[in-house]
């Protein structure tokens, strides 16, 4: 029984290892597209592995700070390649670099422990210290996200729309969310000679100074005849006559442009404010995404998956795929770096919140047991009854196994959808 409990206690690290291993194996498949795409996949996999290691480092640091006995901290799984003992802890590297694990003595009530070490076990510590240890993993994901948000604002810069400077869209898409296909006609902007980076200053002689004015001017133009667009290009002013297209999904003419994006760095203090507000917004989006998972399941293999309820819900493989697409896309380095960082930030916030769900074997499940034990002890004390002590972990193992099986099944379903019916960036 004790061996089985130890295996159950290691399920968190094992699960993280399986996810990372699957991603590494799929590099071969994804990498067939282009070298840039492969680089994007590698970036995501490395970022995920670092996040997993910092998650375990959070548990490790909290346990050490409270005087708990931590016997192992390893990078990877499988056969040990190298290790060194410092005090009571063995640090090392294993053959398969797919995550890592930390071993804290006395994690469950059923672990066999030397009586001399019992006061330093996880289970023997006060409830608030055990709670901190279980929360520390998710806390590290939140720290990663906050630091990257700060770096995004202070280092790369925040996106700003560049007035009426345009980026040319290559086609007239079938819908407002559809990607371009070879069968789609070229956009009026591409046919009429507009170039990305051109600044439109007038439409049919009507001056435009911002994107709202430009959109209104385009929609008000008659269809079927060429419309003169006055543009600034490389210090010169020229006029292009362009025939607008009609589309079923919007009123007025369609030109085929979108605002060009510029980046403006903020100061360190302003970046802190941005990181705080954006973290809150992204955390709320992650909670919403969790709620959308049941609604997304029936549409995972639908042709219009991206436009269905919860259509953006995907596995880590899907996130890796999108990262590869971003790196391979025809974008400036700042746009690529910005989007890749946002993906990594999103993943860390989502994983941090998901890990706190009150379900075993997630850390939130262990935290829920600590809270339940504390509440039960308080009730017993008020009722002048003996403290009922720790929860019998053997009674919750079946629930833990069931939840673990459900999580594995959900992960495999999302994985299959991301391979067979992947999400794509709009072209």
Residues of the chain above pLDDT 90, percent: 40
Quick count: other Cβ atoms within 10 Å of Cβ 270? 14
Query: Are residue 26 and residue 95 in the same domain, yes or no?
Result: yes
Query: Are residue 205 and residue 139 in the same domain, yes or no?
Result: no
Query: Are residue 100 and residue 167 in the same domain, yes or no?
Result: no
Boundary (domain end) residue, out of 264, 280, 305: 264
Boundary (domain end) residue, out of 246, 264, 282: 264
pLDDT of residue 78: 81
Tell me the whole-structure pTM to 2 decimals.
Answer: 0.77
**DSSP-assigned letters across all residues of 152-175:** IIIII-EEEEEEEEEEE--B--SS
15 pLDDT band, cuts 50/70/90, is very low
9 pLDDT band, cuts 50/70/90, is very low
Query: Are residue 66 and residue 100 in the same domain, yes or no?
Result: yes
Boundary (domain end) residue, out of 264, 298, 328: 264
Residue 142 inside a domain? The answer is yes
89 pLDDT band, cuts 50/70/90, is very high
DSSP class of residue 297 equals G
**How far apart are alpha carbons 60 and 70 in whole angstroms?**
7
Query: Are residue 247 and residue 164 in the same domain, yes or no?
Result: yes
**How far apart are alpha carbons 90 and 60 in whole angstroms?**
12
Query: Are residue 105 and residue 150 in the same domain, yes or no?
Result: yes
Query: Are residue 41 and residue 137 in the same domain, yes or no?
Result: yes
Model confidence pLDDT, tens digit, residues 275-311: 999 999 999 988 888 887 887 788 788 777 766 665 6
pLDDT of residue 8: 40
Query: Are residue 254 and residue 365 in the same domain, yes or no?
Result: no
Do strands 206-207 and 199-203 pair parallel, antiparallel, or not at all (unpaired)? Answer: antiparallel
Token representation of residue 78:
């499988």
Total number of domains in the chain = 2
Active site residue ranges: 56
**How far apart are alpha carbons 306 and 178 in whole angstroms?**
9
Query: Are residue 77 and residue 170 in the same domain, yes or no?
Result: no
Sequence-ordered list of residues with C-beta below 8 angstroms from that of 361, at least 6 positions apart, any chain: 8, 9, 11, 12, 15, 400, 403, 404
Residue 11 inside a domain? The answer is yes
Contact 336, 327 (CB under 8 A): yes
Residue 202 inside a domain? The answer is yes
Query: Are residue 27 and residue 57 in the same domain, yes or no?
Result: yes
Quick count: other Cβ atoms within 10 Å of Cβ 188? 23
Query: Are residue 19 and residue 133 in the same domain, yes or no?
Result: yes
Residue 282 inside a domain? The answer is no
Domain that holds residue 239: 160-264
């Amino acid at each position: 029984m004790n061996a089985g409990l130890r295996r159950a206690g290691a399920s968190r690290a094992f699960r993280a290892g399986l996810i990372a291993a699957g991603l590494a194996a799929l590099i071969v498949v994804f990498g067939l597209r282009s070298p840039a795409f492969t680089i994007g996949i590698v970036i995501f996999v490395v970022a995920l592995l670092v996040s997993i290691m910092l998650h375990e480092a959070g548990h490790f640091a909290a346990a050490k700070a409270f005087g708990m006995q931590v016997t192992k901290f390893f990078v990877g799984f499988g056969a040990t390649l190298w290790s060194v003992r410092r005090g009571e802890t063995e640090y090392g590297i294993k053959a398969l670099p797919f995550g890592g694990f930390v071993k804290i003595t006395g994690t469950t009530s059923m672990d066999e422990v030397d009586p001399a070490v019992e006061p330093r076990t996880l289970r023997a510590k006060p409830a608030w210290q055990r709670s901190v240890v279980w929360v520390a993993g998710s806390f590290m994901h939140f720290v990663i996200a906050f630091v990257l948000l700060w770096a995004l604002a202070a280092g790369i810069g925040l996106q700003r729309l560049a007035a009426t400077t345009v980026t040319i869209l290559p086609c007239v898409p079938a819908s407002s969310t559809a990607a371009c296909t070879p069968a789609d006609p070229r956009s009026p902007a591409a046919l009429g000679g507009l170039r990305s980076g051109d600044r439109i200053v007038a439409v049919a002689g009507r001056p435009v100074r911002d994107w709202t004015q430009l959109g209104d001017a385009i929609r008000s133009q008659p269809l079927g005849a060429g419309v003169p667009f006055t543009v600034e290009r490389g210090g010169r002013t020229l006029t292009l006559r362009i025939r607008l297209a009609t589309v079923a999904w919007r009123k007025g003419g369609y030109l085929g442009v979108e605002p060009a994006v510029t980046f403006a760095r903020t100061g360190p203090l302003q970046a802190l404010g941005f990181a705080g507000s954006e973290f809150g917004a992204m955390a709320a989006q992650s909670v919403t995404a969790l709620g959308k998972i049941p609604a997304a399941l029936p549409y995972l293999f639908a042709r219009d998956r991206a436009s269905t309820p919860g259509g953006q819900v995907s596995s880590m493989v899907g996130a890796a795929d999108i990262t590869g697409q971003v790196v391979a896309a025809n974008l400036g380095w700042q746009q690529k770096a910005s989007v890749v960082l946002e993906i990594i930030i999103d993943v860390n916030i989502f994983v941090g919140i998901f890990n706190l769900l009150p379900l075993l074997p997630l850390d939130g499940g262990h935290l829920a047991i600590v809270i339940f034990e504390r509440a039960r002890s308080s009730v017993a004390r008020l009722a002048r009854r003996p403290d009922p002590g720790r929860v019998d972990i053997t009674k919750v193992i079946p629930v833990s196994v069931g939840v673990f099986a459900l999580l594995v099944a959900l992960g495999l379903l999302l994985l299959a959808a991301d391979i067979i019916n992947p999400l794509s960036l709009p072209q």
